[in-house]
Amino acid sequence: MSFTSAEFIIFCTIVFVLYWFVTAKDLKAQNLLLLFASYVFYGMWDRRFLFLLVLLSFANYIIGIEIDKNEADRKKKIWFIIGLITNIGVLVVFKYYNFFIQSFIDLVSLFGYSLSGSTTKIILPVGISFYVFLSLSYIIDIYIKSLRANRNITEVLLTLSFFPIIVAGPIQRPASLLGQITKRREFNYSQAVDGLRQILWGMFAKVVIADNLSVFVDDFFKNCAVYSGSTLLVGAGFYAIQIYADFSGYSNMAIGIGKLFGFNLMQNFAYPYFSRDISEFWRRWHISLTSWLRDYVFMPMSMAFYERIKSEKVMFIKSNMAIYIMTSAITWFLTGLWHGANYTFIIWGMINGLFLIVYQMMKSPRKKIYKLMGINNKNLTAIVIETIFTLIVITIAWVFFRSLNVHEAFLYLRRIFSISLFSIPKFPNRVAGLINLILASLFFIIEWIGRGHQHPFADLEMKLIRPLRWAAYYGIVITILFFAGKHYVFIYSQF
């Protein structure tokens, strides 16, 4: 049941009415309703694995209590390890089993041995990466005493399966979400209206921009061997727009739906394509994941290296930089692997990690060069050049992210960087291509204008008088009705 489907609109309307008009005065009833709705919602996506979500959530409820009540370090650590094994084990089995088995077979074949290529094909449960990371942060926070275990099973299960975020995030921190679940919510008209605006913008991004571009992107990547380099360059740009519109669209709808029920969910995108450098990009793109990896992987690993490395240099590199390089490489390897059981995702992650390392190493030389050239850090030319360069790096990396395998990714890039790059791009449907370019341009113009807020429509009341404001709403709705593309599943729901 996708956010963009008629079934979800009916579902959400029913839950909204029951939530605010039937159970509004009873917090327990509201939470039970949301928990039931969350399980219905997930079951409509994939009823085969609803049991997995329920069992894993219940297991983490028990593990959290056991970690919290055992003050003895040994028992506390044992339960924490059980929690890590349970959550990571579920993720590994369901998401990476086939990948690891096939990788082992390929490795053995390099030494002249042949093993059977048949493996047990395990189906990937929808949203498993998101709810496992949510569960991990719950037990980690309890272990490091930044969160107390909650004894109310309804509140914990709802925290670990809240329907707006269960399929593709944001990966809301349990402390933040649980804090809102345990308190009574009052209907806030302004918050609900803002939620509807955010849902509308997310819907436009998904069904008008992302879904229409999907047709072109699928064709370009499927037939990259026959298209010219210039056409494939446009295709790579189209995919960069598609994945942003698709995922930011989902996130905006999820956050907006949360607002309808009185919840404030964390911002997941902060206009990342307007970033000046790769570091800024990753502070703005998929914020809930990057902050999760920073807090639970990068920082703890960095501290562990600092405690063990006492020398000033490691292999002729200053220890601080060496630690950053090692920690970044591991973190970005895991980031790529988190996105999917495919070497393309790992390469994509390592490309981003490499450029982050290069950026870190060049920060000081860059300042010196700019100073010698008399260029201010706010120089418009410098900002434009750096922003374009960042977009080029991100777009090239997206080619690996989108490709089915490494061979296809390199073929796509070889075709781009061939002599045909200087030819005129050719589209299967020029009129549709032009319309998509116009709509995508409109999309980013509105994003640029509203970049100072959580979403571009957040301050329309202050910017536009009522007639113009309603004209904008109707304009977006009409555009959605007339230009909605063929329905595609959300890209990140597959992770």
Q: Which residues contact 261 (CB under 8 A, 6 or more apart)?
A: 16, 19, 34, 185
What is the residue-wise DSSP string for 299-368?
A: HHHHHHHHHH--SSEETTEEHHHHHHHHHHHHHHHHHHHHH-SSHHHHHHHHHHHHHHHHHHHHHHHHHH
Q: Which residues contact 24 (CB under 8 A, 6 or more apart)?
A: 30, 187
What residues are paired with 318 via a beta bridge?
313
Burial of 437 per CB tally in 10 Å (0-12, 13-18, 19+): middle
> What phi and psi values does residue 124 have, to the nearest 5 degrees?
-85, 115
The rounded distance, in Å, linking the Cα atoms of 88 and 8 is 31
Residue 4 and residue 207 in contact, taking contact as beta carbons nearer than 8 Å:
yes
Task: Write out the two tokens for 277.
Answer: 């450098």
Tell how far CA 446 is from the center of its chain.
22
Task: Write out the two tokens for 199.
Answer: 């849902």
Tell how far CA 464 is from the center of its chain.
32
Residues carrying an active site annotation: 339
Helix (H) or strand (E) holding 261: none
CA angle (415, 418, 420) in 5-degree steps: 90
The rounded distance, in Å, linking the Cα atoms of 477 and 492 is 25
Task: Write out the two tokens for 366.
Answer: 């860059």
* Helix residue ranges per DSSP H, 47-183: 50-69, 73-91, 97-109, 128-143, 153-159, 174-181
Task: Write out the two tokens for 324.
Answer: 């950053």
Q: Tell whether the torsion through CA atoms of 440, 442, 446 and 448 is positive or negative.
A: positive
**Share in percent of the chain as helix, strand, coil (round to 5):** 75, 0, 25
Q: Which residues contact 348 (CB under 8 A, 6 or more apart)?
A: 336, 339, 397, 398, 400, 401
Neighbour tally for 240: CB within 10 Å: 22
The rounded distance, in Å, linking the Cα atoms of 398 and 440 is 18
Task: Write out the two tokens for 293.
Answer: 């990896």
